[in-house]
Amino acid sequence: MSPAQHLVAACTALVLLTALVGLRMLSVRVAEMRARRIHPQAVALSGQRAGKFEDTRASDNYNHLFELPVVFYALCLAAIGTGHIPAWLPATAWLFVGLRVVHSAIQCSYNKVMHRFMVFLAGFFLVVAMWLAYAVSYIAA
């Protein structure tokens, strides 16, 4: 695979993770709404949902997959768009995706905050370092 193909594959893997977490969220929410007889209109607003649902792990994780990963997607698109893909970028892209998978697995299961936080920090610092290194390499090229 070419470096660009690796970046597209890494982004696709992250999109698939987002879809899986979204399906998990749907499954958990529908089951809880049925079991507790929650009318859909009773949870129409985020403030209402916060007070009604007991298990928000998948929902919280789904939201998180639209936060830090957006910075990652932007970097991949910039690299593909400019045609400047340093040799290290595909490997670090896959590392970031792996960290997001671990983060999602923790949050959607046992949800130990400090475990999740350490994985988040690793991903956060990785994507910031990726952007800084990419900017330097692009400017120097």
**Whole-prediction pTM:** 0.93
- DSSP string for residues in 13-62: HHHHHHHHHHHHHHHHHHHHHHHHT--GGGGSSHHHHHHH-S--HHHHHH
d(CA 130, CA 136): 10
- In tens, the pLDDT along 116-137 reads 999 999 999 999 999 999 999 9
Our CA angle for 102, 122, 16, nearest 5°, is 40
Domain map of the chain by residue range? 3-24+55-140
- In tens, the pLDDT along 90-121 reads 999 999 999 999 999 999 999 999 999 999 99
| Dihedral sign, Cα of residue 33, residue 103, residue 15, residue 127 | positive
